[in-house]
Amino acid sequence: METIIDYSMMRDPLGHHVRYQNYFAESSSLKESDKHSLGELSLASNVSAREWDLYEEQKFLIRLYGAGETLQNLKKEVDALAERLLINTNYVRQYGDRYKSPVYPLFGWHRRSFGYLAITLLLTDSEVTVHTVRQLVSPQKEKQSYLFDLLLHAYDTAHLVQKRYQSYKYSAAWIDPLIGVLSLAPEERANALARHMQNWLRFMRAYGWKPNLNTAPGQDNLFCDFAFEVALAVCAYDIDDTTFRDHPYYPRDLADYYRLHIRHSRDRWRPLHVGADLPITLPPPPKKANLAKSKRKGIARWVELVADGDIDATEAVLDATGKPRKIYDLQTLLQNLAESDIAIHADLKDDDTLEQQASNLSEARALGAFDGPPGPPYGPARCSATLTAWNTWLAERGYQLVDIDDGDSDWHAVVVNTKCYPELQQLSEQLGIPVRPFGADLHQPQE
C-alpha cells in the first residue's frame, strides 16, 4: 500500500519521523526491485524471498501503526495481507526445502506475532480473514505459547488450545503475568491489568525500550511496539480499560474500534466476559529445593545458593559448567549464570540491562519488582546508583547482594539469602571465586 502518512498523528511516543520515512522508503525500494527481478530469480531464491516477506510484512504493518497510519487504511490492508501471507506460506511449503521444518509466519511467543494478531483481529470484519489467520500459526511445540492460543481461541474457537506448552523464558516475563490476570474473576481483571500495565515498559527493556530512548537518526533503534497482547485480552474478555487507556503504549484506538465496530457484529456470538471460555491454567512456579536440607556440595551447592534453590536454573548452569573442584574460567561461569537469569552480568555503561536483570532476580525470589533510580546521570554512574539502591532494598527483604570481581570493568553480582551468605563465602574461597558483600572495596568505574 502507498505509505503517505501524516506523522503528526504518530502513535509511537518516542518515534522519530525521519527514521520512519527512511524505513518506508527503503521498504518501497526493495518491493519495487523485487517486482522487476522476481521472474529472474531461481526457485530457491524465490522461496527465500517469499519466506523473508512472511515476517517483514508483519513488521511493516506494525510500523505503519506506529507511524500513525489511519485505522481505515490499516483495515483495508489486513484482509489483503492475510491472503498474501497464506499464499506465500503455501508456496514456501510446496517449493521449499523438504527437509526443513514447515514454515509458518506466526509464533506464539514472538511480539511481532502478537502485534500482527491484534491489528488484524481488532480491525477486520471478515470472518474469512479470521479463519485465514488460524492457518498461519505454527503448530510446532517450540513455537507455541499458551497465551497466544488462548487469545486466538477467543476470536476463533476452531483454533485449538493445547494441554501442554514448552516454557520460553524470554517471553515469560510479559506472558505469565497476563495469564495471571485472565485467571481472576471478571470483576478483578481491570485493576489487575492496570497494575500489569504499570510494569509493561519494564518488561520491554529486553526488547529495546529504555527511559532515555533517542530514536533520532544515528541514535537508538526505533522501538515500534505496543501492548498488543493487552488490547487483545481487553477485547476478548470485555475488560474495562478506563484506568490505563492513557498509557502511551496501550493501543486504545484498536480496542475502541473493535468495541464500536466488531464486538457486536463479527463477534456477537461470544457472551460477555468469557473470552476463550476455558479454565485458565496458571504457569507453574519454579521448582525450588529446600536450601536447609540440600545434599549438594561444592560448585553445585554454590550455584544452588545463588539460584535461591531454583532447581531448573541450578541444573542448567551445572550442565553448561560441569562440577569442577576449582573455578579457573570465571568468565564462562558468570555467563552461564546470567543466561539462567541468576546473576548480574552487564556492561559497565549498560544501566538499562543492569536494572532489568536486578528486577528479574528480585521477582524470581518473589520479592516484587525493583526499579532503580531514574537518570540522569546515565551509564556507569546510574549503574552504581542502581546497585547501591538495590543492595539496601534487598537487605530490607533478607537478601544480600554479592559482588564478584572478575578483574574486568563489567558488573558482576549474585544475590543470596542473608542467612546463607557465610556458607556462600566459605564455598567461594574453596572454589576460587572472588566474592565480597556489595560495597566492600568495590572498584570505582571510570567514566
Q: Identify the weakest region by mean pLDDT among 147-161, 260-274, 369-383.
A: 369-383
Residue 127's CB is within 10 A of a number of other CB atoms, namely 11
* 110-129 residue pLDDT tens: 999 999 999 999 999 999 99
What are the domain boundaries of the chain?
7-262, 298-437
Task: State the residue for C-alpha cell 497510519.
Answer: 69
How far does Cα 58 stand from its chain's mean position? 17
Residue 56's Cβ-count burial label (10 Å; 0-12, 13-18, 19+) is: middle
3-state secondary structure of 361: helix
426: its cell numbers: 566459605
* 368-383 residue pLDDT tens: 888 889 888 889 999 9
Distance CA 387, CA 127 (A): 52
How far does Cα 11 stand from its chain's mean position? 20
Better-scored residue on pLDDT, 436 or 212: 436
pLDDT at 444: 43
pLDDT at 445: 43
Give the Cα-Cα-Cα angle 156, 157, 158 (nearest 5 degrees): 90
pLDDT at 283: 86
pLDDT at 363: 86
Judge contact between 234 and 207, C-beta under 8 A. no
| Average pLDDT over the chain, rounded to an integer | 92
pLDDT band at 384 (very low <50, low <70, confident <90, very high): very high
Which of 294, 300, 292, 305 lies closest to 317, judged by CA? 300
Which of 279, 42, 241 lies closest to 153, judged by CA? 279
* 394-426 residue pLDDT tens: 999 999 999 998 888 899 999 999 999 999 999
pLDDT band at 441 (very low <50, low <70, confident <90, very high): low
Judge contact between 394 and 401, C-beta under 8 A. yes
| Interval 83-98 mean pLDDT | 90
> Between 421-431 and 298-306, two packed helices, what is the crossing angle to 10 degrees?
140
pLDDT at 33: 66
Residue 444's Cβ-count burial label (10 Å; 0-12, 13-18, 19+) is: exposed
Identity of the amino acid at 218: G
Cis amide bond preceding 376, omega within 30: yes
Distance CA 197, CA 216 (A): 26
β-strands 411-417, 344-346 pairing: antiparallel
pLDDT over 70 at 36, yes or no: no
This prediction has a pTM of 0.81
| Interval 239-262 mean pLDDT | 98
Better-scored residue on pLDDT, 98 or 62: 62
Task: State the residue for C-alpha cell 489483503.
Answer: 80
* Residue percentage of the chain with pLDDT more than 70: 95
